[in-house]
């Protein structure tokens, strides 16, 4: 599939990966989690948008200090950083690039617009174990949470938690985790918010041994999840 570069892509020196790497896999995980690609037509012109967004407080350092540099290494693009919303509660890395949008859509298989039927892309499912792990790291940094629940024994029980409203993403992510040897529990429930019912599929990886395996094989790049994993035994 041919990727079309805009004149601006050429001037900025856009470069696209020619093979799957761990950096690319991690970036794909980030895009599946908190990313967006779109092609919006206006007055006869089409704007090709790539965006990664997060909380202006908790995600700011991760996006500015890690994701920005990851994308610069991969694509030779400097993503502008700005704050959005009336109270500037959202931080975004956002750029307009036809070549990069087409790369994500045609080569990687990410959907344009809403991610209602998104799933783990085939290029990840067919990749090496390290590619799968890197993808999960990117997805986890944007959409997973790591908590320590205090138990009756006063020990802390670690839980890696993931929730999505997309069934196809839930099933393909669970399959990926199982293939990597993680013990995963999952379920489905309906969440109600402002009188609107939402589907919610969730996964849990629980216990000290599972967390140790995660930290050894997958890990986190986000500072939010880089917690002390030695506070008690399961």
pLDDT surpasses 80 at 192: no
pLDDT mean over 59-87: 95
pTM listed for this prediction: 0.91
pLDDT value for 225: 61
**Whole-number average pLDDT of the chain:** 91
Q: Find out whether 224 and 58 touch, Cβ atoms under 8 Å.
A: yes
In a domain, 25, yes or no: yes
Residues 6+ apart with CB under 8 A from 178: 184
Distances (CA, A) of 145 to 12, 48, 137, 161, 172: 36, 31, 12, 5, 19
pLDDT mean over 84-89: 90
pLDDT surpasses 60 at 194: no
pLDDT surpasses 90 at 172: yes
Q: What DSSP designation does 64 have?
A: I
| Among 62, 89, 120, residue at a domain's last position | 120
Instruction: Give yes or no: residues 19 and 103 share one domain.
Output: yes
- Helix, strand or coil for residue 148? strand
Instruction: Give yes or no: residues 11 and 99 share one domain.
Output: yes
Instruction: Give yes or no: residues 107 and 184 share one domain.
Output: no
What is d(CA 89, CA 91) in angstroms, rounded to the nearest whole number? 7
In a domain, 230, yes or no: no
pLDDT surpasses 50 at 231: no
pLDDT value for 227: 47
Q: Which residue has the higher pLDDT, 32 or 114?
A: 32
What is d(CA 37, CA 107) in angstroms, rounded to the nearest whole number? 13
What CATH number does the domain containing 59 carry? 3.10.28.10
pLDDT value for 154: 58
pLDDT value for 181: 97
Instruction: Quick: pLDDT tens for 125-136.
Output: 999 999 999 999
pLDDT value for 232: 35
**Which residue range forms the structural domain that includes residue 155?**
129-217
What does the block give as tokens for 124? 């990840």
pLDDT value for 234: 30
pLDDT surpasses 70 at 153: no
Phi first, then psi, for residue 98 (nearest 5°) are: -65, -45
Specify burial of residue 42 (Cβ count, 10 A radius: 0-12, 13-18, 19+).
Answer: exposed
* Count of domains forming the chain: 2
Distances (CA, A) of 200 to 43, 159, 164, 190: 38, 18, 6, 6
């Amino acid at each position: 599939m041919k990727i079309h570069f805009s004149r601006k892509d050429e001037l900025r020196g856009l470069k696209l990966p020619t093979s799957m790497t761990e950096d690319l896999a991690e970036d794909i995980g980030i895009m599946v989690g908190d990313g967006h690609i779109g092609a919006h037509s206006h007055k006869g012109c089409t704007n090709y948008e790539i965006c990664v967004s997060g909380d202006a407080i908790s995600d700011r350092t991760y996006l500015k200090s890690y994701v920005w540099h990851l994308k610069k290494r991969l694509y030779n693009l400097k993503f502008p950083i700005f704050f959005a919303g009336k109270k500037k509660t959202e931080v975004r890395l956002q750029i307009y690039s036809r070549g990069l949008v087409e790369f994500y859509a045609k080569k990687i298989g990410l959907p344009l617009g809403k991610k209602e039927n998104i799933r783990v892309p085939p290029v990840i499912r067919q990749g090496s174990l390290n590619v799968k792990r890197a993808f999960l790291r990117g997805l986890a940094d944007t959409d997973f949470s790591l908590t320590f629940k205090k138990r009756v024994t006063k020990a802390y029980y670690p839980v890696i938690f993931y929730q999505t409203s997309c069934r196809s993403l839930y099933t393909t992510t669970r399959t990926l985790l199982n293939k990597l040897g993680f013990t995963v529990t999952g379920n489905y429930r309906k969440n109600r918010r402002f009188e609107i019912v939402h589907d919610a599929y969730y996964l849990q990886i629980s216990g000290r041994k599972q967390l140790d395996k995660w930290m050894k094989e997958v890990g986190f790049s986000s500072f939010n999840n880089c917690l002390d994993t030695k506070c008690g035994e399961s």
